[in-house]
């Protein structure tokens, strides 16, 4: 019993973010950051915004950013919500759409923040075991539930659920909210965004952290029917009216509007990913088919925990989840071509070690 | 019944922030912003941070800012929490320390976000009527409760509760958390910060929005016993690991470390406030004794609602709360000397109007 702690947090186990090392310089392939800088237009917009107006509150509606997203994604402003990173957007969505009582469902292997939100907000969670190839079985999502959460592409597998499969899940769940977390969709995945017109219960969540290289700025967003967006705004305005600061609004809006830069960077990451996947495959790794900016890999001869440690000793950070079913896998973010060459060469050395 | 909305938000009435007008240029005295720009060192730190590293996640512990606050305020790092504006810090504190069941107590006239948090997080609230002079009666805070929240100086009155009175409330409430919201304390108030060593249940919340002129950056902070800070971190890490972006961390740290600039700006605002109070007093206004960067005023001859509208027509925005007990008052933020001269001259014209 922790004195003064509320009962709701007494037993909580918070989320553990990937390491942000400060002691030495690593090739950092552990938190799915973009290896390239954000759009120069975003940086310029931030530097301009910093020079004037910081004494004033931001626009609580972040109109400039909402407008940019509406324009680029071809939706109405009323169909757009923005927040302080997609983690905050997801936390708001859990509070906006899910109730204690009926359990929400998501895969057993997925973004590990979902069960943390469930515990924090008193929402029961039921996990659906992925199949042995880490694909998503559909039938368990057709059973009665209090809501559905799907990362697509999934993390940490990087694998995509087809739009037909997603549509089938939506058809079977007309009375609860279905959240599709598309943090990684821009690296070759297919977005469910067009489906928001058909399904009033579909919320599509995305982020500027990965594909727009703005993990340091904390801007996430969501698309959905105006009624869902109103619910998210109701939650936001009951917690913090100004979740996005002036710099985040200006920088993210400029990044979203710079489509050519965005597309070019995504193509580079995809090319490097596919090349790295082939090289690791040649070294004997089992490499899951990735539509994200990371690879999820396992080697028949070397335990992942050992490789994780040895990579670290060689100056390369990747992510290792010592837990059931995925304890022999490593999640490797896609860096620059040079970084991935070093990774592949180091892996080769480690695999061949007597 | 709003479809797909959770039961917790069905009946919510969110907080209403002060207006951020875009249609015309006003003298903006409605949201307690600082009339002067933030420290040039803060702006420089932001511009530097924007130029490198935005692709990387921020330090989830915001170590640079926590360290700056610990150093300047003479506390340990473990006694410091930072968040995305003091609104977020307060929202986390409500979740960390208050339970449904025992009602928390706060004055009937105070920051209007407190009852919104209560409704959002299912925490019962009991309001204590301020005395007719808007001072805080102590005895009602001695009765059994689930926690205490006090804005000190209070908003929108600007009036301060003495440290003796605060100590007496703390002495009578050893088993619940006592939150003292010091958003406005730097304009001549006395901080309860030294008391955190004596009272393990005291959380002192402050912000960079007012006295450090960074409303646009969204950085709030709290001081308390390490156990209370750990509870806040538990909530934060169960909702959003990275609430502060890289620019906010860098900018706020630089602002906090620039003590001479901070002190000088606060002195200017205090001088202008006291001068304005005298001028409005000379015009017949009842002016509450303010230790904040705003004045709460009432005129015997002119209804506040009318003055509010007429000021607006004259290009001056102030805040008007059409609600019981304070419906004949205006809250006027302290601007520059020129802005306050214009305000006083306009008031004089409006008061003398036939």
Name the minimum distance, in Å, from the CA of A264 to any CA of chain B: 16
What pLDDT is recorded for position B97? 98
Whether B23 shows a pLDDT value over 80: the answer reads: no
Whether A354 shows a pLDDT value over 80: the answer reads: no
Q: Which residues of B touch A247 (CB under 8 A)?
A: 46, 50, 216-217, 245, 247-248
Of A88, A209, A217, the CB nearest to B240: A88
Q: Is A46 close to B50, i.e. CB distance below 8 A?
A: yes
d(CA B125, CA B135) in angstroms, rounded, equals 20
What pLDDT is recorded for position B353? 73
Q: Which residues of B touch A28 (CB under 8 A)?
A: 56
Name the minimum distance, in Å, from the CA of A350 to any CA of chain B: 28
Cα A349 to Cα A85, A328, A343, A352, distances in angstroms:
38, 19, 10, 5
Of B213, B231, B251, the CB nearest to A4: B231
291-330 in chain B: CB under 8 A from chain A: none
Q: Is B59 close to A247, i.e. CB distance below 8 A?
A: no
Provide mean pLDDT across the span B286-299.
Answer: 98
Q: Is A99 close to B214, i.e. CB distance below 8 A?
A: no
Name the minimum distance, in Å, from the CA of B58 to any CA of chain A: 5
Q: Which residues of A touch B50 (CB under 8 A)?
A: 43, 46-47, 50, 247, 251
> In Å, how far from its chain's centre is CA B240?
22
Residues 6+ apart with CB under 8 A from B175: B201
Contact predicate B245/B54, CB 8 Å: no
Whether B24 shows a pLDDT value over 80: the answer reads: no
Contact predicate B10/B2, CB 8 Å: yes
What pLDDT is recorded for position B216? 98
What pLDDT is recorded for position A53? 93
Name the minimum distance, in Å, from the CA of B354 to any CA of chain A: 36
What pLDDT is recorded for position A1? 65
Q: Is A149 helix (H, G, I), strand (E, B) or coil?
A: strand
d(CA A136, CA A114) in angstroms, rounded, equals 16
A interface mutation test: which of B58, B116, B238, B266 has the most A CBs within 10 A?
B238
Short-list B234, B91, B101, CA closest to A92: B91
Q: How confident is the model at residue A16 (pLDDT cuts 50, 70, 90)?
A: confident
Q: Which residues of A130-158 are buried (b: 16+ CB within 10 A; e: fewer)?
A: beeebbbeeeebeeebbbbbbbbbbbbbb
Chain A CB within 8 Å of residue B67 CB: no
What pLDDT is recorded for position A242? 96
* Residues linked to residue B287 through DSSP beta bridges, in sequence order: B297
| Higher pLDDT, residue B201 or A354 | B201
The pLDDT tens digits of the residues spanning B107-122 come to 999 999 999 999 999 9
204-233 in chain B: CB under 8 A from chain A: 209, 213-218, 227-228, 230-231, 233
High-pLDDT (> 90) share of chain A, %: 95
What pLDDT is recorded for position B22? 72
The pLDDT tens digits of the residues spanning B219-253 come to 999 999 999 999 999 999 999 999 999 999 999 99
Q: Which residues of B touch A112 (CB under 8 A)?
A: none
Q: Which residues of A touch B176 (CB under 8 A)?
A: 4
High-pLDDT (> 70) share of chain B, %: 99
Compare all CA atoms of chain B with the CA of A102 and give the residue at the minimum distance.
B6
The pLDDT tens digits of the residues spanning A63-119 come to 999 999 999 999 999 999 999 999 999 999 999 999 998 999 999 999 999 999 999
6-65 in chain B: CB under 8 A from chain A: 6-9, 12, 14-15, 17-18, 20, 22, 28, 31, 33-38, 42-43, 46-47, 50-51, 53-60
Q: Is A4 close to B201, i.e. CB distance below 8 A?
A: yes
Quote the mean pLDDT of chain A: 96
Q: Is B6 close to A239, i.e. CB distance below 8 A?
A: no
d(CA B188, CA B317) in angstroms, rounded, equals 24
Quote the mean pLDDT of chain B: 96
d(CA B61, CA A44) in angstroms, rounded, equals 27
Q: Is B54 close to A43, i.e. CB distance below 8 A?
A: yes
Tell me the two tokens of residue B222: 């709290």
Least confident of A2-16, A64-78, B201-215: A2-16
Q: How confident is the model at residue B354 (pLDDT cuts 50, 70, 90)?
A: low
Name the minimum distance, in Å, from the CA of A114 to any CA of chain B: 10
Name the minimum distance, in Å, from the CA of B112 to any CA of chain A: 11
d(CA B239, CA B242) in angstroms, rounded, equals 9
d(CA B181, CA B184) in angstroms, rounded, equals 8
Tell me the two tokens of residue A129: 């075991």
Q: Where does chain A have alpha helices with state H?
A: 7-10, 40-50, 63-73, 86-97, 113-120, 163-172, 226-236, 246-257, 259-282, 304-313, 337-352
Q: What is the Cβ-side half-sphere exposure of residue A283, based on CA atoms within 13 angstroms?
A: 23
Name the minimum distance, in Å, from the CA of A147 to any CA of chain B: 9
Q: Is B175 exposed, middle or buried, given 0-12, 13-18 or 19+ CB atoms closer than 10 A?
A: exposed
Whether A189 shows a pLDDT value over 70: the answer reads: yes
Dihedral sign, Cα of residue B153, residue B154, residue B157, residue B160: negative
What pLDDT is recorded for position B1? 65
Q: Is B88 close to A240, i.e. CB distance below 8 A?
A: yes
């Amino acid at each position: 019993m922790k004195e003064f702690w509320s009962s709701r947090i007494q037993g909580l186990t918070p989320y553990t973010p990937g390491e942000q090392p400060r002691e030495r310089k690593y090739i950092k392939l552990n938190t799915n950051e973009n290896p390239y800088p954000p759009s120069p237009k975003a940086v310029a917009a931030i530097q301009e915004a910093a020079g004037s107006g910081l004494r004033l509150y931001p626009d609580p509606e972040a109109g400039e950013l909402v407008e940019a997203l509406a324009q680029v994604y071809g939706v109405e402003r009323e169909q757009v919500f923005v927040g302080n990173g997609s983690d905050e957007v997801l936390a708001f969505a859990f509070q906006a759409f899910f109730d204690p009582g009926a359990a929400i469902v998501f895969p057993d292997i997925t973004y590990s923040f979902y069960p943390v939100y469930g515990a924090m907000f008193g929402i029961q969670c039921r996990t659906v075991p992925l199949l042995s190839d880490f694909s998503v079985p559909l039938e368990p999502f057709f059973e009665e539930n209090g809501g559905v959460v799907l990362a697509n592409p999934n993390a940490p597998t990087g694998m995509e659920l087809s739009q037909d499969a997603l549509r089938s899940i939506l058809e079977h769940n007309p009375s609860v909210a279905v959240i599709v977390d598309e943090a990684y969709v821009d690296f070759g995945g297919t977005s469910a965004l067009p489906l928001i017109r058909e399904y009033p219960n579909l919320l599509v969540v995305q982020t500027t952290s990965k594909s727009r290289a703005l993990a340091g700025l904390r801007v996430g967003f969501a698309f959905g029917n105006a009624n869902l967006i109103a619910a998210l705004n109701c939650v936001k305005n009951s917690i913090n009216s100004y979740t996005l600061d002036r710099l985040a609004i200006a920088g993210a809006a400029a990044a979203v509007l710079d489509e050519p830069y965005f597309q070019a960077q995504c193509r580079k990451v995809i090319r490097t990913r596919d090349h790295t996947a082939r090289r690791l495959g040649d070294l004997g790794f089992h490499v899951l088919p990735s539509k994200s900016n990371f690879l999820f890999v396992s080697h028949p001869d070397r335990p992942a925990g050992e490789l994780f440690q040895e990579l670290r000793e060689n100056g390369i950070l990747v992510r290792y989840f010592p837990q059931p079913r995925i304890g022999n896998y490593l999640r490797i973010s896609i860096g620059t071509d040079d970084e991935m060459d070093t990774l592949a060469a180091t892996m080769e050395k480690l695999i061949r070690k007597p």
